[in-house]
Amino acid sequence: MEQLSLVSSNKIFGGYQKVYSHQSSELKCKMNFSVYLPPQAEGGDVKLPVVFYLSGLTCSEQNFITKSGFQRYAADHGIIVVGPDTSPRGVKIPGDDDSWDFGVAAGFYVDATKEPWSTNYRMASYVNKELYELVQQAFNNVVDPDRIGIMGHSMGGHGALISTLRNPGLYKSVSAFAPICNPIQGPWGAKALGGYLGDDKSKWVEWDATELVKKYDGPPLTLLIDQGSIDQFYVDKQLLPENLVEACRSVGVPVILKLREGYDHSYYHIASYIGEHFDFHAKILKA
């Protein structure tokens, strides 16, 4: 694994939570990503499913691995979990640090086409090509390339949805916590898509989960969406899961919307239901 540097390795639930850094060719900067290797990976004589996890605004690869408690469930099911960072780091584009919802830690998992972002802000290609392939190469003794799923939170929940819908078959299972579901209709999404793609809204729909699902014609897919009922961003109509559900129903794509009474937008919501999501992914990936 000459292209990877080990940043940290901690034993948890019998497996190892690792963080690596590498030089990304898509993003043209050094990036961290996390890999959880469950106990079943030891010995390297069995191929395991992989689930990618995409984080939300302001996060790095650290939030999920320290706050969600997912490792217990990944260890139970024998699933490898990979978590990229949320944007290029250290590329110092003017304005990249001016707001918490655009630029650094807010890559939105799209490939920017507008200058000055288009050189580095290629998170879609980074996740779905570069890191996807890197993980298969670096961990080829334990990764089953035919059983890869994806999940995420908020901006990363949308990232999981569009990564799946734009690349039919690449991810066999997909779920999301409090995802932005219809970004062209919300303030966060409009700011990000306008900033990264320019003013032509006909380009935005290519990166909008609700629009993409209407045209989806890949392998059968069930979407699992988990939403806290008192999440302020849900109340403020940044997330709009109902729009995604309506679009899914209009084209016959199965969707499960779990509305969780009293839960908010935090990792406390994720921790409470991440076990159910691992059950969901395991049922599909280990079928």
Distance CA 123, CA 177 (A): 19
Active site residue 265: yes
From 265, 269, 277, 281, active-site residue: 265
Strand order in the sheet with 255-260: 5-12, 15-24, 29-37, 80-84, 48-54, 143-153, 173-177, 223-228, 255-260
From 24, 231, 277, 281, active-site residue: 231
CB of 261 to a second copy, least distance (A): 8
182 binds a second copy (CB under 8 A): no
Q: Which of 3, 14, 95, 201 binds a second copy (CB under 8 A)?
A: 14
Question: b or e along 221-253 (b: 16 or more beta carbons within 10 Å of the residue's beta carbon)?
Answer: bebbbbbbeebebbeeebbbbbbbbebbeeeeb
Distance CA 148, CA 163 (A): 12
Quick note: the x/- pattern for a second copy over 219-248, rule CB under 8 A, is ---------x--------------------
From 34, 154, 173, 175, active-site residue: 154
**Closer of 167 and 272 to a second copy (Cβ):** 272
13 binds a second copy (CB under 8 A): yes
User: Which stretch, 148-156, 169-177, 211-219, 266-274, contacts a second copy (CB under 8 A)?
Assistant: 266-274
272 binds a second copy (CB under 8 A): yes
Query: Among residues 51, 44, 46, which one has the least CA distance to residue 71?
Result: 51
Q: Which of 30, 67, 203, 258 binds a second copy (CB under 8 A)?
A: 67
71 binds a second copy (CB under 8 A): yes
**Closer of 251 and 271 to a second copy (Cβ):** 271
Distance CA 54, CA 209 (A): 15
Active site residue 154: yes
268 binds a second copy (CB under 8 A): yes
Distance CA 162, CA 175 (A): 11
**Local structure of residue 39 (DSSP, 8 states):** G
Peptide bond into 179 cis (omega under 30): no
Residues that bind a second copy (CB under 8 A): 10-14, 17, 66-67, 69, 71-72, 228, 262-264, 266-269, 271-272
